[in-house]
Amino acid sequence: MRIVITGPNGFIASNIILKLNKKNEIILLSNKKPKFQFLKKFKMIKFDLKKNIIPNIDCDILIHAAAITPQKKYSFKEFEKTNFKSLKEIVKNIKIKKKIIFFSTSDIYKNQEKHFMLKENMHINIKKLSAYAKSKYKCEDYLKKLDPKKFSFEKIILRLPGIVGENNHKNFISNITNNILNNRKFTIFGGENYFNNIFHIHSLTKFVNELIEIKIKKNFEIINLCAKNPMKIKNILLLLGSKITPTKLKLSKKNMFTMNADKLNKYFKYNLNTKKILTKYKKEIISKNK
């Protein structure tokens, strides 16, 4: 089976590649030289979202991980062009036979009407989205509207929260953990809020490998990636080792939400609960800092 992967130098894609079945033919699309030694053994083809350099190739499965993110400041037009418009060119240039696995974002739920355990089918007010989230949501909508007869491959959308693991990008949990380990002062709002917007990179790589092998009954599917059994923010702080007592936390419920994991749990029996992910991540960070 031929698997094409975009953004191989990134944290998520590189970890996925490391765990893929080596019996598959793996082709990497990137505008940079291999960042990691193990990537050098794979065929790499020139690919650049910003410059619209997209090769004309075919594959059984496309794992589309390349994107620009809010970690750097980009304009609305840059997000629109690089994340959304480039997807149209990818679908046009790359012949996908079986499925595309597209990485979207849980940022789509930000600034929406808050409900406990947000589901994939909830109405999204696109006007309230950030430029980044809007570009990802428009990608989702584009894939959904593709003619299933002309584009018969499965479209699998994974809405990613903060992904943790060794060398992960900065996110809510990694920032808290680093502050605690370095004895920095910080303030957290929403101590009484429940939180499960977290997923471990090891679980993600395992799930992607399963998605490669199984057949989704639907032509289009959106799946929240999130932990089971949400925890209160104040209890998360205590678990991570914070010396701040729960009574000193700001207890507002502003700008917080939890994600519904029912659909994920149906497809992925190895999904971890919030406590286990946090405990696993804490051990990794402490071990790294020794």
pLDDT, tens digit (0-9, with 9 covering 90-100), for 92-148: 999 999 999 999 999 999 988 776 789 999 999 999 999 999 999 999 999 999 999
Paired strand residues for 48: 53
Confidence category of residue 257, pLDDT binned at 50, 70, 90: confident
Per-residue pLDDT at 2 exceeds 80: yes
Per-residue pLDDT at 254 exceeds 70: no
Q: How far apart are CA 290 and CA 285, in angstroms?
A: 9
Confidence category of residue 71, pLDDT binned at 50, 70, 90: confident
What does the pLDDT read at residue 107? 95
Per-residue pLDDT at 4 exceeds 50: yes
Model's pTM, two decimal places?
Answer: 0.94
Per-residue pLDDT at 68 exceeds 60: yes
For the chain, strand residue ranges (E) read 2-6, 25-30, 43-46, 58-64, 95-105, 154-160, 162-164, 194-195, 198-200, 220-224, 231-232
Overall average pLDDT of the 177-186 stretch:
82
Confidence category of residue 193, pLDDT binned at 50, 70, 90: confident
Residue 98 CB contacts under 8 Å (≥ 6 apart), including other chains: 1, 60, 61, 153, 154
Q: Among 88, 101, 126, 131, which residue's Cα sits nearest to residue 12? A: 101
What does the pLDDT read at residue 247? 44
Per-residue pLDDT at 217 exceeds 80: yes
Overall average pLDDT of the 145-173 stretch:
94
Q: Is the Cβ–Cβ distance between 264 and 224 less than 8 Å?
A: yes
What does the pLDDT read at residue 248? 45
Measured CA to CA in angstroms, residue 178 lies from 201, 233, 235 at distances of 18, 16, 17
Residue 149 CB contacts under 8 Å (≥ 6 apart), including other chains: none
- Higher-confidence residue of 142 and 244: namely 142
Per-residue pLDDT at 244 exceeds 80: no
Q: Is the Cβ–Cβ distance between 93 and 37 less than 8 Å?
A: no
Dig out the tokens for 52 from the structure: 């619209």
Q: How far apart are CA 159 and CA 289, in angstroms?
A: 30
What does the pLDDT read at residue 288? 72
SS3 assignment, position 43: strand
Q: Which residue reads 């840059």 in tokens?
A: 78
What does the pLDDT read at residue 169? 87
The single-letter DSSP state of residue 282 is: H
Per-residue pLDDT at 165 exceeds 60: yes
Overall average pLDDT of the 179-186 stretch:
82
H or E stretch at 288: helix 274-289
Per-residue pLDDT tens digits for 269-281? 999 999 999 999 9
Overall average pLDDT of the 186-208 stretch:
90
- Higher-confidence residue of 169 and 244: namely 169
Mean pLDDT for the chain?
91
What does the pLDDT read at residue 246? 45
Q: Is the Cβ–Cβ distance between 49 and 76 less than 8 Å?
A: no
What does the pLDDT read at residue 251? 47
What does the pLDDT read at residue 255? 59
